Structure 1
């Protein structure tokens, strides 16, 4: 059995959907904080059990019978995520899992200024010492592009700090590739990197956006502190703004610069690019505006 945590979230849920196309439902289990929210999986024959990283006993029960466990990393900035991830790893080992897979992050190496990297580095170290086969899926940045580009459609500007090349990756592609790894015969040991095929800068994205919209989208470089101040002005908590700033700092230092071919290999096709994602976003917004 394959057990997936975080299956009511975006990445975990999409991974389960892809697994359902590859293996029988009775070979899939999910461990979720709120079992009622996973009823749509239970209705299709998936084993649903309650479990959270804060409750080791419940985790052991929800992982029972699992050959593989996919641990979707937590992202609560107020929590001790390393300890919570340790709970999940210990529970998977206790349940007899033969392999643990963990959703890590591209560039999870010492020195990366992006603070969540420290959580992933520490969790990978725990996995390495667990005595069980493990895979760290170092996923490329797959959050909404507007989260890093800002309100460029309204302003006509990508006004952000100095950046660097990043292979912005589609979450749906990551989920599909994760299911391919879980359901396949090929083993991946240790860290593997899953990214879109090309790394782009904000200068590149401004050119892409200009071509797609027929408008001139400008790239404006903001001083770090100026950007933080502007974020606070629009209501972003300072702590969150400074956390996001470390992401730009990591990008400009080259920690996300390398695109990896493995994602394309697993999918059997080219993953979606930043251009594809921007085009889809623009088309979706245009439809929304037309509907209103």
Structure 2
């Protein structure tokens, strides 16, 4: 049985939906913290069990009979994140999984200024030590984050942020499809090359795309790191979240999220979704 963790989240749910295109529902299990939110999957024949990365007993039950387990990285950082990932890896190994697939990141780096990247590097080390065949999917930066970083620019006409660098923005749908391939084939083993969208685009490029899509001018405005961080705090953002956002700019201008590469498109057998398509959809929803 293929087990998908975090199946109530955006990526985990998309992976599950992609698996259902090719795998009988009774061969798919999901591990979620809230089983009620996964009721629709249960009604389609997917095995739904509660699994919490802080509760080993729940994971033992959720992973029962696993042939492969997708460990979707958690939405926290630091020692807590690595500990949770480690518990999931141990539970998958104990359940007898033949492969553990983990959603890592192209910027995985123990010295990165973007907080999740050292966590990914530490988790990849845990996978190597697990003794179980594994796949660490070095995913490109979520293109949905580019839409988030636009912020109020669509209304104000100014995209205000610190100095940045190019980012190989990548669509959730593409990453879900490659994760499903990793769970249904043996083609992807160990730490993968970066799976990215077709282009590496900086914030000025995002402003230009948004301006073209809306027909309204959007000016890229640079601000010092400290001013940006202080502004986030002034708007009520907790310090860890402010540190996280600033870290995107610090890491991108070091080149950690570029360049774009051809691997994702080659594995999918089609072009990867460009950032313009993701922004177009996000702007239409607004």
Q: Aligned residue for 1:52? A: 52
The question of 1:43 aligning with 2:27 is answered no
The question of 1:131 aligning with 2:131 is answered yes
C-alpha distance in structure 1 between counterparts of 2:35 and 2:213, whole Å: 42
C-alpha distance in structure 1 between counterparts of 2:116 and 2:167, whole Å: 17
| RMSD between aligned residues | 1.6
C-alpha distance in structure 1 between counterparts of 2:212 and 2:100, whole Å: 43
C-alpha distance in structure 2 between counterparts of 1:136 and 1:185, whole Å: 13
C-alpha distance in structure 1 between counterparts of 2:285 and 2:245, whole Å: 26
The runs of at least 4 aligned residues of structure 1 exceeding 3 Å deviation read none
Displacement of 1:161 after TM fit? 0.4
> Which range moved further: 72-81 or 27-36?
72-81
Please tell me whether the aligned partners of residues 150 and 160 of structure 1 are also in contact (alpha carbons under 8 angstroms).
no
C-alpha distance in structure 2 between counterparts of 1:29 and 1:130, whole Å: 22
The alignment partner of 1:49 has SS state of strand
Q: Aligned residue for 1:224? A: 225
C-alpha distance in structure 2 between counterparts of 1:218 and 1:103, whole Å: 34
Q: TM-score, normalised by structure 1?
A: 0.92
User: 1:52-201 alignment to 2 at 5 Å?
Assistant: 52-77=52-77, 80-142=80-142, 143-201=144-202
Q: Aligned residue for 1:6? A: 6
Displacement of 1:185 after TM fit? 4.4
Residue correspondences, number:
285
Deviations 1:88-144 (A, max 9, x none): 111111110010001111210232211111111111100001001011112112143
Displacement of 1:233 after TM fit? 2.3
Displacement of 1:222 after TM fit? 0.7
Gaps of 5+ in 2: none
Displacement of 1:79 after TM fit? 6.8
